[in-house]
Chains A and B, each alone.
Chain A
Amino acid sequence: MTDFAIELAGISKRFGAVQANRDVSMHIAKGSIHGIIGENGAGKSTLMSILYGYYQADSGSIRVNGREVRIRNSQEAIRLGIGMVHQHFMLVDTFTVLENIVLGAEGGLLLKQGMEQARAHLLQLNRDYSLEVDPDALVGELGVGLQQRVEILKALYRGADVLILDEPTAVLTPQEADHLFCILRALREQGKTVILITHKLREVMDITDAVSVMRAGTVVGNVRTADVDKEKLADLMVGRKVSLKVDKAERTPGAAVLEVRGLSLTDARGVKLLDGLDFQVRAGEIVGIAGVSGNGQSELLEVLAGMVEPTSGEIRYHGKDLLQEKSSQPRAALYRQKGIAHVPEDRSREGLVKSFPMFENAILGYHNDKTISRRGLFSRQALLARTRDFIRQFDIRPDNAQLRVGLLSGGNQQKVVLAREIHANPDLLLIGQPTRGVDIGAIEFIHRRLVELRDAGKAILLVSVELEEILALSDRILVMAGGQISGEVAAREADTVSLGLLMGGHKQ
């Protein structure tokens, strides 16, 4: 039987005390798209690293095209026709697409000859898989979606028959993701095998032929996609029943907490990032901002959090314009003091200091809080007590307040940020991409907490590129396109089609 491109049998791998993979077996059919799904830390990436030769398995065997192999490094993997597209791209920004693709496979001493051959080959690949990448463009000037295609081209150029993609849509807009899926389907038609690592159920349902579900280092299910549904997969992944629906009762919102008038932001090159925004967020409601990423949502959050000064407009908070307030401290500190909490979109770059222990991250932004200092010095006990509260209330794992935050999984990192911002008992919560890179079990938890806050009468402004999330949580939905609000929809009446049109810039 050689119907399988890859067969893994009994793979185990241990890092110190952590059993990353335990007796993992799976068969990946030739010419199929095979999903590997699991929560963060379920062992997906480790398994693929073993297949790509970064790690050696402690035990178990790998067969490629029916032949048992040992893959000692990535060169051997490439020789066996295995290619990998990393989550973080391995590209040289200042090189052209062509230069990046031949990098490491220049084919001869003189660059010119190899380049000409590479160009011909590349154009051929471009046509075969409708990748639409300009070989002479500088990689640094390409968008994320195109850079990813360069990575795919790189693997194909090296003769990959099996392509591993590690969380490929984490960095893409929905449109870019759709385009990527078209490319993957084209690859399948040409007989290539695709392994898709993800934790998004929708992707698995949309595109894969078969799926392996991993949990805690083991495979808990190898199924044909046609035989399962989202709920079944989610249950397998988490190991218990999860509800993807958010239960929330109708509620009449109170007075406006935040009112934005004519808010504009122009960058140094004169590009309008925010263009005359008017909207309000009332007590006891969640206002969702939908939109393709890069249409001003990030800038809006930063302006409202006081990290960036707007060019013009008013930010009225409880009726008073915040921009008129004079203060010797930075605006971000002032706003926070007034009860505006902010869970930033990019939690690992802004919301946390990864090298600090959890108990220091638990006070980031609130370090001037009088209750945690005594005679100018932090009370270590007060910090630890507060952190232990967070750990208990938000079920943060592992429950060690001294642990460096960088060692936590994405979901637990997000819980630290959320716990900290909610602890301040804010009147207004700004929250960006609350569940980006967060596993399913934690998503459910975070969504429930947000609804609880809303029911407690807080005003919440939610920015997310996940339409499902916006639809599930929001009471009202604003759609942003090109720095403007292109429409407003009540959540009850909203659906993906109408929102999609608004996201494309069609005004109401």
Chain B
Amino acid sequence: MKFGQPSTLPRWAQLSVLPVLNLLAALLVTGFVTWLIGEDPWECLQLLVSGAFGSGEGIGYTLFYTTGFIFTGLAVATAFHAGLFNIGGEGQAYLAGLGVTLVVLAFDHTLPPLVLVPLCILAAMGFGAAWAFIPGWLQAKRGSHIVVTTIMFNFIAYSLMLYLIGHHLIEAGSQNPTTREFGHNAWIPALHQLAAGVGIELPNTPLNLTFIMALLACVLFYLLVWHSRWGFQLRTVGVNESAARYAGINVSKTIMLAMCISGALSGFAAINELLGSTHRMNVSFTNGVGFVGIAVALMGRNHPVGIILSALLFGGLTQGGLELSFEKPVITREMIIFIQGLIILFCGALENLFEPFIAGLFKRKEDK
């Protein structure tokens, strides 16, 4: 028997009460800061929520941002189940964007959409996977710590893309560091266009088919991790490497494969952004989607349902925050990032802040 008190909190409370309390705590601190800079916190919160969920258009944008966060969240979670902390989702999404762009620029006037788009998806997955494979290989074969290497690879990716866009891929004669607009064959249809086809009218937003792919990916992720042989090996390696060796599991191969899948999932964030919305690549298109994925996975406890919910939260925060900063010039984009940071702090780093307190409440109730 071990010493020390085991957690007495039931599982459902761990999964529901704690995240909600953490979220409220983050909002409370945000409210205080909002009050400090002279705004009405309650009004700001209302603006934020109605901006994200108050209109069809708002919801469309929210779900568009959610799509990217689901993919990068799943990416982080995949690596996490193998015991790896992949901080490199940002760089992997970036490189995936390069793969997509190269394919599009070469073929967007020759190949039909039904060929071109799948090809782009393969390119995104391949480039993302390749960029994640190198740190994975270094970890598995050389013992270089994956956290350090993936961070470095984010910087390398950023510099590489800056160079490539600035010197090679930039639209001729343009002053902006972006490529030319992609041909229509490479556009993934937005949901409002598809809905219009069957006579349903949806507001015009960049929400596109990638969202459906994200939901499918969640189902696949669940089956793969918890119901497949490979997922079993992945989780075994993640929690007990000695047991994995004992069981005849190829540990280094599992680690490398996990990183490749992680990178490939990050690649879909580039698909969502480039083929679903901007239809051209610019220098800052990833915009932190890989980093938010870390928070999404942490808060979603590496489970697809949790990841969808927390991706929705961060999606709403992004969209609602943008609306809020239109309405209230004092609340800048930085302020929104500040709120995100608080949520990550409370839900990630201080995950069990309220646990002893809640556990005490449960215990008292039980004793009665």
Please give the residue numbers on chain A whose beta carbons come within 8 Å of chain B beta carbons, in ascending order: 16, 40-41, 45-46, 49, 54, 86, 305-307, 329-336, 342, 344, 346, 349-356, 360, 363-365, 367-368, 373, 376-378, 380
Q: With A54-B3, A376-B228, A378-B229 in contact, is A365–B248 under 8 Å at CB?
A: yes
Give 3 nearest A-B pairs by CB, closest first: A333-B248, A332-B248, A365-B247
Contacts of A349 in B (CB 8 A): 240, 242-243
Using Cβ atoms and an 8 Å threshold, which residues of chain A touch B106? none
Chain A: CB-nearest residue to B8: A16
Q: How far is the CB of B103 from chain A (nearest CB, A)?
A: 29
- Apart from A333-B248, A342-B246, A367-B232, what 20 extra A-B contacts exist at CB < 8 Å? A40-B1, A46-B1, A306-B248, A307-B245, A329-B248, A330-B248, A332-B245, A332-B247, A334-B248, A344-B246, A349-B243, A351-B243, A353-B239, A360-B232, A364-B236, A365-B246, A367-B229, A376-B228, A377-B223, A377-B228
Given contacts A16-B8, A377-B223, contact A350 B239 (CB under 8 A): no
A365 CA to B242 CA, complexed, in Å: 12
What is the distance, in angstroms, from B256's C-beta to the closest C-beta of chain A?
Answer: 15
A380 to B228, CA, bound (A): 10
For residues 109 through 153 of chain B, which have their beta carbon under 8 Å from a beta carbon of chain A?
none
Instruction: Judge if B227 is at the interface, Cβ distance under 8 Å.
Output: yes
Contact check, A350 vs B248: say whether CB atoms are below 8 A apart.
no
Rounded to whole angstroms, the CA-CA distance of A376 and B8 in the bound complex is: 37
User: Which residue of the partner chain, among B1, B233, B235, B248, contacts A41 with CB atoms under 8 Å?
Assistant: B1
B227 and A377 contact, CB distance less than 8 A: yes
Closest to B250 in A: A330
Q: Is B49 an interface residue (CB 8 A)?
A: no
User: How many of chain B's residues touch chain A, expressed as a range?
Assistant: 20 to 34
Residues of chain A within 8 A (CB-CB) of B8 are 16
Residue of B nearest to A369 (CB): B229
In angstroms, how far is the closest chain A Cβ from the Cβ of B227? 5
Q: What chain A residues lie within 8 Å of B21 (beta carbons)? A: none
Q: How far is the CA of A336 from the CA of B249 in the complex (A)?
A: 12
A68 to B218, CA, bound (A): 61
Closest to A305 in B: B246
Contacts A353-B236, A377-B228, A378-B228 given; does A364 touch B1 at CB 8 Å: no
Contacts of A365 in B (CB 8 A): 246-248
**Which residues on the A side are within 8 Å of B235 (C-beta)?**
353, 356
B interface list, Cβ under 8 A from A: 1, 3-4, 8, 223, 227-229, 232-233, 235-236, 239-240, 242-243, 245-250, 366
- B243 surroundings in chain A (CB, below 8 A): 349-353, 364
A456→B246 CA distance, assembly (Å): 26
Contact B3 A49 (CB under 8 A): yes
A305 and B228 CA atoms in complex are apart in Å by 25
* CB pairs A–B below 8 angstroms (11 shown): A40-B1, A330-B250, A336-B248, A342-B246, A350-B246, A353-B235, A356-B236, A364-B247, A365-B246, A365-B247, A373-B229
Contact residues in B for A378 (Cβ distance below 8 Å): 227-229, 232
A360 and B232 CA atoms in complex are apart in Å by 8
Docked complex Cα distance between A365 and B236 (Å): 10
> Considering the chains assembled together, what is the distance between the CA atoms of A220 and B240 in angstroms?
39
Residues of A within 8 Å of B247, CB to CB, are 332-333, 364-365, 367
* A439, chain B: closest CB distance, angstroms: 13
Residues on A with beta carbons closer than 8 Å to the beta carbon of B249: 330, 333
A87 to B223, CA, bound (A): 41
The reply to whether B242 and A368 contact each other, CB–CB distance below 8 Å, is no
Assembly CA distance A330 to B253 (angstroms):
11
**Contact between A329 and B236, CB atoms less than 8 A apart:** no
**B-side contacts of A307, CB under 8 Å:** 245-246
Question: B2 to chain A: closest CB distance in Å?
Answer: 8
Instruction: Name the distance in Å between B320's Cβ and chain A's nearest Cβ.
Output: 37
Most chain A C-beta atoms within 10 Å of own C-beta, residue among B3, B249, B366: B3
Q: Give the shortest distance, in Å, between B172 (CB) and chain A (any CB).
A: 49
- Residues from chain B with a CB closer than 8 A to the CB of A364 are 236, 243, 246-247
Q: Is A350 a contact partner of B242 (Cβ separation < 8 A)?
A: yes
Contact (Cβ within 8 A) A332 B229: no
Complex alpha-carbon distance, A335 and B248, angstroms:
9
Kindly state the separation between the CA atoms of A67 and B44 in the bound complex, as whole angstroms: 64
A353–B239 alpha-carbon span in the complex (Å): 7
